[in-house]
A and B are shown apart, each in its own frame.
Chain A
Amino acid sequence: ETGVTQSPTHLIKTRGQQVTLRCSSQSGHNTVSWYQQALGQGPQFIFQYYREEENGRGNFPPRFSGLQFPNYSSELNVNALELDDSALYLCASSSGSREGNTIYFGEGSWLTVV
C-alpha cells in the first residue's frame, strides 16, 4: 500500500472527448508526476508538479494538461482524445526531501478510447 490513490480505476471514452483523472498523493509528499503506460511498454513521463507548479514535462502535446491543488492532490486532463491515448495512466508521488529518491505509484487509471 503506497498511499497514492487514483480515480477512476477504469473508464471508456469516445474519440474526441475529454477526460479528467484524479490522484491523491501520499501524506507529506508535495511532488506529483503523471505517466502513461501503453500495453507492453514501460511508463512514459508526462509531467510533474511541485507545490502547485509544473516543473517538468515529457514529450506529450499540449492537450495533456494538469493541475496540482494546495493539498497536493492532482488532476490530469486530456482533451480531444485519440485512439492512441488508450493506456494505463499512473500517478506517482514523492517528497521534496533530497534524502534518497523514493517515488511511489498508485494503481493507475485504465483509459480506453473507442
Chain B
Amino acid sequence: QKEVEQDPGPLSVPEGAIVSLNCTYSNSAFQYFMWYRQYSRKGPELLMYTYSSGNKEDGRFTAQVDKSSKYISLFIRDSQPSDSATYLCARTLSGSARQLTFGSGTQLTVLP
C-alpha cells in the first residue's frame, strides 16, 4: 500500500464548477499536509499547507484534513480554465519536516 493514495483522474469539469480532489494516507505520524499545483512541464507550485484537522481557506481554494479518517481534500470554487493542471497532495512525517511524500497527482481540465 502506498503511503499517500490519490485518484489519478483525469478529471474534466465545466468552467465555474466546484472541484473536489482527494487523497488518503496510511501513516498516523504524518504531520503536515500540502497541496501543489503543477502545470505541464513545470515545477510544482505550493498552493496550501495545513497541519491540523479542519478547513483552511485561501481565496477559491479550501484544504480539508480529517486525521481520524486519514483523508485530505482540496476544493476549488468557481473553477477557471487556468486551473487546468495536475494537483499533487503531499505530507511530511513528524520530525522530518522537510521530506515530502507525494501522491501520484490528479490531472484536472476545466473546460471553457
A-side contacts of B102, CB under 8 Å: 42-44
Bound Cα distance A2, B32 (Å): 20
- How many residues from B make CB contacts under 8 Å with A? 28
Contact assessment for A42 and B98 in the assembled complex, using a CB-CB cutoff below 8 Å:
no
Total A-B contacts with CB atoms under 8 angstroms apart: 68
> A36-51: which have CB < 8 Å to B?
40-45, 48
Q: Given contacts A42-B88, A100-B49, is CB(A105)–CB(B101) below 8 Å? A: no
Q: Return the chain A residue nearest B103 by Cβ.
A: A42
**What is the bound-complex CA distance between A110 and B42, given in angstroms?**
10
Contact with B along A11-37 (1 / 0, CB 8 A): 000000000000000000001010100
A56 to B103 Cα, complex, angstroms = 20
Interface residues of chain B, those whose CB is within 8 Å of chain A, are 4, 6, 8, 31-32, 34, 36, 41-46, 49, 51, 88, 90, 92, 96-105
